[in-house]
Amino acid sequence: MSKRPLKILISGGGTGGHVFPAIAIAHAIRRLAPDSEILFVGAQGRMEMEQVPKAGFAIEGLWISGFQRRLTWQNLLFPVKLASSLARAWHILRRFQPDVVVGVGGYASGPVLEVATRMGLPTLIQEQNSYPGATNRLLAPRVDRICVAWPGMERWFPEAKVVRTGNPVRREIAATADPAAARAHFGLDPHATTVLVTGGSLGARSLNEAMMAAAAKIGARPDVQWLWQTGRLYAEACAASATAELPQVRALPFVDRMDLAWAAA
């Protein structure tokens, strides 16, 4: 009797800091167990619903979003979304029957890992940051293992569950691309000194404000070119700035090929 393939369910997302480590985990599992079945569960309308299929993996979406800290009518929907997501997670887990459920943080991982622990499935969470997110802090007492990147995480998590693994890194990030070819990919001068500015997939307001305020200084150095990931939230304002109009500045809302962005700089 042949043994059935290993089944792994990976849940979470919302930002590149959650999505891309999750994809790196999936690729690593696929290399170790080529016949494994991997299913992602994310939040509808979030970036994982686009990026995970691009990476070659199946994904299903939950109707879930975060609870806003400020007073807003959207919070009235949160209990309904949570109940819907818990029910949907139960159906997905019952149908897929994973051998282990992995949470990487973000909106979707909460309902999925909560249901998985109640079903008695093996569970683990992967925390990328030195200050863990709210979802992982809430899940920590219930999951079996907690994979972390930084020392001292016992401050936040039960010590007996913590395993220091480091952060998952996609192979293409670790590989060394040709700098000239990487710059050409973004429409930059292949031979000019290049500076990469990125505050993560969602962008960073302080970095963007610094870039917009530095138009005169950047313009005074035409020999240096800039690759600037603004984040979609700030894309319109940054694109309208004097900095973005400089010929040596390439401002993008989001960089799909971060491996090439690192190589270009």
Q: How many angstroms separate the most distant Cα atoms in the chain?
A: 72
Per-residue confidence of the chain (265 residues) as pLDDT tens digits? 457 899 999 999 888 889 999 999 999 999 999 999 999 999 999 999 999 999 999 999 999 876 566 666 677 777 888 899 999 999 999 999 999 999 999 889 999 999 999 999 999 999 999 999 889 999 999 999 999 999 999 999 999 999 999 988 888 776 778 999 999 999 999 999 999 999 888 889 999 999 999 999 999 999 999 999 999 889 999 999 999 999 999 999 999 888 899 999 9
DSSP string, 105-172: SSTTHHHHHHHHHHTT--EEEEE-SSS--HHHHHHTTTSSEEEESSTTGGGTS-GGGEEE------HH
| The model scores a pTM over 0.85 | no
Q: Helices 78-96 and 109-118 sit at what angle, rounded to 10 degrees? A: 50
Quickly count: other Cβ atoms within 10 Å of residue 234's Cβ: 23
In the chain the domains, ranked by start, together with CATH numbers, are 7-171 (3.40.50.2000), 176-264 (3.40.50.2000)
64-91 pLDDT tens trace: 876 566 666 677 777 888 899 999 999 9
189-209 pLDDT tens trace: 999 999 999 988 888 999 999
Listed in sequence order, the residues at least 6 apart from 105 whose beta carbon sits closer than 8 Å to its beta carbon are 12, 14, 17, 18, 125, 126, 127, 128, 132, 133, 135, 136
Distance CA 196, CA 216 (A): 18
